[in-house]
Copies of this chain bind each other. A is one copy, B any other.
């Protein structure tokens, strides 16, 4: 649980999660999207992997990262438990869409 929130506490990592929502991506594709050195992105991916928010598998010469929702559901359950039921949450789903802050 700790690792999940920690992982999501960095804007780059949340952005990666957002991107993977559209389907699996290679490490290189992800790295390209950010104005930072590739190894830095790799480090972020490592954090996400340790939090079990993504998994990775080799695909030929590249490595494909893919979203895993199970861990995120835990975080969601925590929030629901802490801050009340999901009432009104669906309506906020709209408001949130512009999140995606860049690095």
Contacts and interface: CB of A to CB of B under 8 A. Distances in A.
A76 B83 contact: yes
B93 A86 contact: yes
Interface string A16-45: 011001000000000000000000000000
Contacts of A88: 73
A83 B96 contact: no
A103 interface: yes
The range of chain A's interface size is 35 or more
A27 B5 CA distance: 24
A8 B80 CA distance: 13
B83 A79 contact: no
A82 to B, nearest CB: 5
B92 A77 contact: yes
Given A72-B82, A82-B21, A86-B86, A77 B101 contact: no
B92 A73 contact: yes
A78 B103 contact: no
